[in-house]
Amino acid sequence: MTQPILITGGTGFIGSHTALVLAQAGVPIVILDNLCNSSPKVLDRLARLGVTPLEFVQADIRDAQALDDLFARHAFEGVVHFAGLKAVGESVAQPLRYLDNNVSGTLSLLQAMERAQVRRVVFSSSATVYGDPAVVPIAESAPLTATNPYGRSKLMCEDALRELHSADPRWRIAILRYFNPVGAHESGLLGEAPNGIPNNLMPYITQVALGQRDALQIFGNDYATPDGTGVRDYLHVMDLAQGHLAALKALGASDTPQLLTVNLGTGQGVSVQQMVDTFAHVNGVPIAHRVVARRPGDVAQCLADPSLAKALLNWQTELGLERMCADAWRWQSMNPQGFDTPL
Ligand code: NAD
Ligand code: WQD
């Protein structure tokens, strides 16, 4: 790839790691983000990792003029589209904000791409589109459903992308359904820095490890799983980032279908209790925890069948659970104040 790739949401957790992977693969990149859930200091960290010079545009994907200006300045080869809001609980309280940001935002981006005749896009979807799966591991052909406005927004964007491809097959579209991304870059310079109380398991564990929170609440131990706690498919964010490079390459290849929908996961189930025990063992830091009631909306198990990603993208995960725990802890312990930590 000689023309640049636009990364929307590129200062966020997954976007920043993907920016690094693309840049290190020699792909020129431009990042656009409105910084509603990320820090501009991510750009300094990327520079320290050798991603320099790097063009950053602070703008909202719903700002058509900003997008037109940007597309006029660069002949983008494609877009990796991460920009979106992702907190499930918040989406239940603020459905219109989520649908506007995620759905209107994606439509605005696709329209700008159409105007600029840039028709290659990799979209961040989520295992949330499978709802409460009847069968695990989950294949891409499983029924799709939304159980909250966040999930609805992902499903609506997926539908829009499918409609677009059937209307105009010149579009090359990869819909990537991520399972549970965790971990951080091994340097400790990039990682996940949620605002406020973390919703997700791994950042909560790392904050307990640091002493910023008293104890992890394990949401239920009466699920139909081997130890009763919820089972998920956690994958290392660096493997996930590699999946985006693989998808971009596949979208350029003549022997690959140009509407790709693939799961990105390991296919391995890990329970909450196993995660707590592995983190404590690998890092030598005990994680205080207590079992509380189930969290509304949680499912017992969510696991990917990752075989299609292997077949279509030649992608599979390389980094295991211990590495996820070690890298997450290195990031958190080096950055107790997230990206505001002077390094
Ligand atoms: P994140 O919040 O760290 O990154 C998203 C970025 O998008 C942020 O930097 C935010 O400032 C930016 N953004 C949001 N709305 C924007 C807008 N209207 N215009 C411009 N920028 C905007 O989240 P993440 O974990 O990196 O997730 C990236 C994508 O992957 C999201 O679309 C998310 O829904 C999806 N996803 C995440 C997970 C996960 O567990 N982290 C799982 C599945 C799917
Ligand atoms: C994992 C497990 C919890 C926190 C969410 C979104 C999903 C996707 C990924 C974006 C579950 C348990 C958690 C805690 C706990 N995001 N847990 N105590 O719910 O699988 O998926 O993030 O697309 O759409 O729903 O991830 O990290 O919140 O939870 O016991 O304090 O950890 O019950 O079993 P989840 P999670």
Residue 285 near residue 207, CB atoms below 8 Å: no
Is 65 within the bounds of a domain? yes
pLDDT of residue 256: 77
Return all residues near 44 (Cβ < 8 A) that are at least 6 apart: none
Q: Which residue segment(s) compose the domain that 112 sits in?
A: 5-182+234-265
Residues 44, 240: Cα–Cα separation, whole Å: 22
Is 15 contained in some domain? yes
CA of 295 to the centre of ligand 2 (A): 9
For residue 322, CA distances in Å to 235, 236, 278, 329 come to 11, 10, 7, 11
Q: Number of C-alpha atoms within 13 angstroms, CB side, residue 104?
A: 11
- Whether 125 is in a domain gets the answer yes
Active-site residue, from 150, 204, 223, 234? 150
Lookup result for tokens 């501009």: 40
Gap from CA of 9 to ligand 1 centroid (Å): 6
* Residue 19: predicted pLDDT: 98
Q: Indicate if 150 belongs to the active site.
A: yes
Are 228 and 291 contacting, i.e. CB atoms less than 8 angstroms apart? no
Q: Which residues contact 331 (CB under 8 A, 6 or more apart)?
A: 184, 185, 188, 190, 191, 192, 206
Hey, what are 80's tokens? 């990796």
C-alpha closest to that of 45 among 197, 241, 184: 184
Does some domain include residue 170? yes
Structure tokens belonging to residue 118: 């840039």
Rg over alpha carbons for the chain, rounded to the nearest Å, is 19
pLDDT of 125: 99
Residue 96: both structure tokens together: 């219109």
Q: Encode pLDDT of 281-340 as tens digits.
A: 999 999 999 999 999 999 999 999 999 999 999 999 999 999 999 999 999 999 999 999
In-domain check, residue 252: yes
Taking only the tens place, the pLDDT of each residue in 124-139 is 999 999 999 999 999 9
Side chain identity at residue 21, one-letter code: V
Structural domain count, the chain:
1
Distance CA 220, CA 291 (A): 6
Closest CA to 89 of 50, 34, 147, 132: 147
Pocket test for ligand 1, best of 36, 61, 81, 82 (most atoms within 8 A of CB): 82
Closest CA to 247 of 185, 312, 319: 312
Instruction: Decide if 53 contacts 117 (C-beta within 8 A).
Output: no
Which residue owns the Cα nearest ligand 1 atom 30? 124
Within-domain flag for 206: no
> What does the pLDDT read at residue 2?
85
pTM: 0.99
143 occurs within a structural domain = yes
**In this structure, what CATH number is given to the domain that contains residue 80?**
3.40.50.720
Q: For ligand 1, atom 4, name the residue with the nearest CA.
A: 12
Identify the segments of the chain with pLDDT beneath 70: none
Residue 84 beta carbon below 6 angstroms from any ligand 1 atom? yes
235 in Cβ contact with 262 (< 8 Å): no
Q: Which of 86, 148, 232 to mutate for ligand 2's pocket (most ligand atoms within 8 Å of CB)?
A: 232
Percent pLDDT > 90 in the chain is 97
- Pairing relation of β-strands 270-271 and 231-232? antiparallel
- Whether 324 maps to a domain, the answer reads no
